[in-house]
């Protein structure tokens, strides 16, 4: 088994890019194991809608990153109190491991630490019926990535705040996460540290996959990883534009009265805007539906469309409340 050195990076975009890079770089070789910790971030599944999974006002206020991973599954919270693990295995002559088989060493390592861990039907690891690990898999070109996050001493208060969707937003399509009560390992064994848990995990994985060979990636490898982090994992196209079709209902009190908007978005692009407004609303508001169609659901693009029909000039203010109503106050993207 090859153990990858991630240079102690806590950048979620870099660590997700590293996982994808390892899927390609170590194709067909022995099992690869990676451990990493991230700065505060919400990591959403490949098929999820960030507007549904994340409290975007909390994310902006607390400077929490939102990134999309290549595997499916639900949204999870990362911070330095989480220990994340990634296991990459080639299929070879044997079938891919099920998610449960792949993470059973994690359960076993927790038991070795004196914690009564169990594995449920969704391949989550539980302590006293509360979740400490969620897992997901991605399979491509004869390789299988199984990864998960282990709550050791995470900020559970922040986790709850950033993973509760903004109450003003209603969703009509799209898949949501299954919420579960969570707990930290230190709530059950206060003396545990990240280093102790990592050592136990490594021992458990090595018992199953063989002796451990540390691997240091080359400067050329790291250049490719950083390029992938920038071009994909930090991009609007991947983080937002890959969302399945959904709709958002927005309401606000504007200078001419209360207005309602139903915005339909597909692959990050506005496909329909329906507006209900009082008679006193300016005619330009009706023109906005045509102006927004085909635009990215991005604060800058929405603000530009609002200005193009003349609505921004009607309300002299530092920020345009029409654009805020439709998008900006609920978009963390800068």
In this structure, the strands spanning 32-36 and 2-4 are: parallel
Fold: same for 2-239 and 246-330: no
Cβ atoms < 10 Å from Cβ of 191: 6
Domain boundaries, the chain: 2-239, 246-330
Q: How confident is the model at residue 317 (pLDDT cuts 50, 70, 90)?
A: very low
- Say if residue 56's pLDDT is above 90: no
Q: What is the pLDDT of residues 71-88, one digit of tens each?
A: 999 999 999 999 999 999
Q: How confident is the model at residue 245 (pLDDT cuts 50, 70, 90)?
A: confident
Q: What are phi and psi of 172, to 5 degrees?
A: -115, -20
DSSP letters of 115-158?
--EEE-TTS-EEETTEEEEEEEEEEETTEEEEEEEEESS--HHH
Return contacts of 323-326, CB within 8 angstroms, 24+ apart. Answer: 323/299, 324/252, 325/250, 325/251, 325/252, 325/254, 325/259, 325/261, 326/250, 326/261, 326/263, 326/273, 326/292, 326/302
pTM listed for this prediction: 0.91
What percent of the chain lies above the pLDDT cut of 70? 90
CATH homologous superfamily for the domain 246-330: CO dehydrogenase flavoprotein, C-terminal domain (3.30.390.50)
3-state SS, residue 109: helix
What percent of the chain lies above the pLDDT cut of 90? 62
What token pair was written down for 306? 């609002």
Residue 251 pLDDT: 86
- Distance between CA atoms of 270 and 249, rounded to whole angstroms? 13
Q: What is the pLDDT of residues 105-154, one digit of tens each?
A: 999 999 999 999 999 988 899 999 999 999 999 999 889 999 999 999 99
- Say if residue 104's pLDDT is above 90: yes
Per CATH, the number for 2-239 is 3.30.930.10
């Amino acid at each position: 088994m090859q153990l990858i050195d991630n240079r102690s990076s806590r950048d979620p975009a870099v660590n997700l890019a590293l996982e994808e890079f390892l899927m390609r770089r170590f194709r067909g070789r022995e099992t690869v194991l990676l451990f990493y910790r991230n700065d505060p971030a919400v990591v959403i599944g490949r098929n999820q809608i960030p507007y549904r999974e994340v409290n975007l006002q909390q994310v902006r206020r607390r400077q929490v990153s939102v990134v999309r991973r290549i595997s499916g599954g639900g949204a999870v919270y990362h911070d330095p109190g989480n220990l994340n693990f990634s296991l990459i295995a080639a299929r070879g002559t044997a079938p891919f491991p099920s998610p449960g088989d792949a993470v059973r060493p994690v359960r076993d390592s927790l038991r070795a630490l004196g914690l009564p861990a169990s594995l449920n039907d969704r391949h989550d690891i539980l302590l006293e019926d509360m979740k400490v690990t969620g897992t997901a898999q991605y399979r491509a070109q004869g390789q299988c990535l199984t990864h998960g996050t282990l709550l050791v001493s995470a900020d559970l208060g922040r986790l709850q705040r950033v993973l509760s969707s903004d109450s003003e937003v209603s969703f009509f399509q799209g898949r949501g996460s299954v919420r579960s009560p969570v707990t930290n390992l230190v709530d059950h064994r206060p003396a545990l540290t990240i280093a102790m848990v990592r050592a136990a995990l490594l021992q458990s994985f090595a018992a199953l996959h063989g002796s451990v060979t540390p691997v240091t990636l080359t400067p050329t490898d790291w250049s490719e990883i950083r390029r992938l982090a920038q071009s994909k994992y930090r991009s609007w196209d991947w983080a937002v534009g890959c969302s399945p079709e959904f709709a958002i209902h927005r309401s606000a009190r504007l200078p001419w009265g209360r207005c309602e908007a139903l915005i339909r978005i597909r692959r990050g692009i506005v496909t329909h805007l329906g507006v209900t407004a009082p008679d006193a609303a300016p005619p330009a508001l009706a023109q906005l539906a045509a102006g927004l169609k085909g635009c990215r659901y991005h604060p800058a693009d929405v603000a530009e469309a609002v200005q193009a029909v003349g609505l921004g000039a009607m309300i002299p203010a530092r920020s345009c409340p029409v654009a805020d109503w439709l998008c900006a106050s609920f978009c963390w993207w800068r």
